């Protein structure tokens, strides 16, 4: 990229807290916030009580917001924080915030009502369309620029970053708000993941020695999601919820948190709907494109997609080995701690990368035996991939 893209605002609602400091402090501990949920009969990662309080306040603030899905409200609350940090006012900036599943909770509620009564409410359709997210954020922020919602499954948020970068480089707008939001902790979504044998533990059976909880109130010693543990023989993906939003602007900015200096993308040739090649060919292509002319040895760390599945983690590792050979960067992921937040996950990974650059501290994985390296962090690669083999790599730099 000839002109770097400044990240001037970066906010999230995640299972780690409602502020960046809370999230960072949580990353520095070895505890996971994943917990067993008795209602969903699965390990999940939920937002904190403070986050739910913020969402409840949004519902009371505007009568229209009472009818919105949590995924939309998560995005609104997060977008407000991001533009405040960036110093943006109402005006002409673009918005691209997507979701893997969209208005999951409302859609399932409306369909369940329809299945019983064979009729549905007036608000069923407008409140469950995917366009809800960006359009309601635009309404809330009174933006006059383009607003786009999309779903590219688990790489949705990083595809929003790609789109924002291209809009900015085109000169059609000078500011772009990008991100992803997900609120898909529902019985049907859990059932879909279980049908694909992606999540651990059978229905109604908590793993041993972990206790039970309907939320994230218990500190547990066993890790439900063993992301990047290549010795595991069964899938351990855990579903989480959250939202992440970034404010992007062209060129050098005094208030920049970090810079996007490279972007890459690729699509895997599928053998079935959720396939990924053993050597992660889509990751190889996306990482090469993002690195560009930079020497691979200049990449200090990679925040991997690493969902905690056996084949998914292994294929991404193989792709990294192919690109970096014997000069491997530090490798990490946040899914062992907060689970897989689907469409929001790429932005939460990007935020971790930016925080590591700011604090000059590498956040590793506690259950892996790895050599600690004391080094400067200047360039960090962030990966994401979704069903359909749509990989994205974003290079962020100090």
pLDDT tens digit sequence for 109-140? 999 999 999 999 999 999 999 889 999 999 99
pLDDT tens digit sequence for 53-87? 999 999 999 999 999 999 999 999 999 999 999 99
pLDDT tens digit sequence for 164-197? 999 999 999 999 999 999 999 999 999 999 999 9
d(CA 394, CA 162) in angstroms, rounded, equals 8
For 351, phi then psi, to 5°, come to: -65, -40
The chain-wide mean pLDDT, for the chain, equals 91
Taking Cα atoms as reference points, which of 103, 93, 82 lies closest to residue 151?
103
Task: Give me the sign of the Cα torsion angle 71, 76, 82, 85.
Answer: negative
| Domains observed in the chain | 5-249 (3.40.47.10), 260-397 (3.40.47.10)
The percentage of the chain sitting over the pLDDT mark of 70, rounded to a whole number, equals 91
Token pair recorded at residue 250: 């062209």
What are the percentages of helix, strand and coil residues in the chain, rounded to 5? 35, 20, 45
210 pLDDT higher than 70:
no
Token pair recorded at residue 338: 């907060």
**The pLDDT of residue 48:** 97
């Amino acid at each position: 990229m000839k002109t770097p893209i400044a990240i001037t605002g970066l906010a999230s609602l995640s299972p780690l807290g409602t502020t960046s400091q809370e999230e960072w402090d949580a990353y520095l501990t070895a505890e996971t916030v994943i917990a067993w949920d008795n209602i969903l009969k699965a390990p999940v990662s939920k937002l904190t009580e403070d986050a739910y309080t913020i969402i409840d306040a949004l519902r009371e603030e505007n009568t229209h917001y009472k009818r919105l899905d949590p995924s939309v409200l998560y995005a609104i609350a997060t977008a407000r924080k991001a533009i405040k940090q960036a110093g943006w006012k109402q005006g002409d900036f673009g918005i691209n915030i997507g979701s893997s599943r969209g208005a999951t909770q409302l859609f399932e509620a409306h369909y369940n009502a329809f299945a019983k009564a064979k009729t549905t409410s007036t608000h069923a359709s407008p409140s469950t369309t995917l366009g809800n997210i960006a359009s309601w954020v635009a309404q809330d922020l009174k933006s006059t620029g383009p607003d786009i919602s999309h779903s590219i499954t688990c790489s949705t948020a990083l595809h929003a970053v790609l789109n924002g970068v291209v809009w900015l480089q085109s000169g059609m707008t000078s500011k772009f708000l990008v991100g992803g939001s997900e609120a898909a902790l529902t019985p049907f979504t859990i059932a879909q993941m279980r049908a694909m044998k992606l999540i651990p533990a059978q229905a109604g059976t908590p793993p041993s020695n972990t206790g039970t909880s309907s939320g994230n109130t218990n500190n547990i010693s066993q890790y439900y999601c063993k992301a990047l543990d290549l010795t595991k023989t069964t899938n351990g993906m855990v579903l989480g919820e959250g939202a992440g939003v970034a404010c992007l602007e062209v060129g050098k900015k005094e208030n920049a948190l970090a810079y996007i200096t490279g972007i890459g993308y690729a699509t895997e040739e599928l053998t079935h709907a959720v396939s990924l090649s053993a050597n992660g060919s889509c990751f190889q292509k996306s990482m090469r494109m993002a690195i560009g002319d930079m020497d691979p040895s200049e990449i200090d760390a990679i925040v991997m997609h690493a969902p905690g599945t056996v084949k998914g983690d292994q294929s991404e590792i193989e792709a990294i080995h192919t690109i970096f050979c014997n000069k491997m960067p530090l490798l990490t992921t946040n899914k062992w701690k907060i689970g897989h937040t689907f469409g929001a996950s790429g932005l939460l990974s990007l935020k971790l990368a930016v925080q590591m650059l700011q604090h000059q501290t590498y956040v590793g994985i506690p259950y892996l035996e790895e050599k600690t390296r004391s080094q400067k962090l200047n360039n960090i690669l962030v990966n994401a991939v979704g069903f359909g083999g749509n990989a994205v790599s974003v290079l962020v730099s100090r």
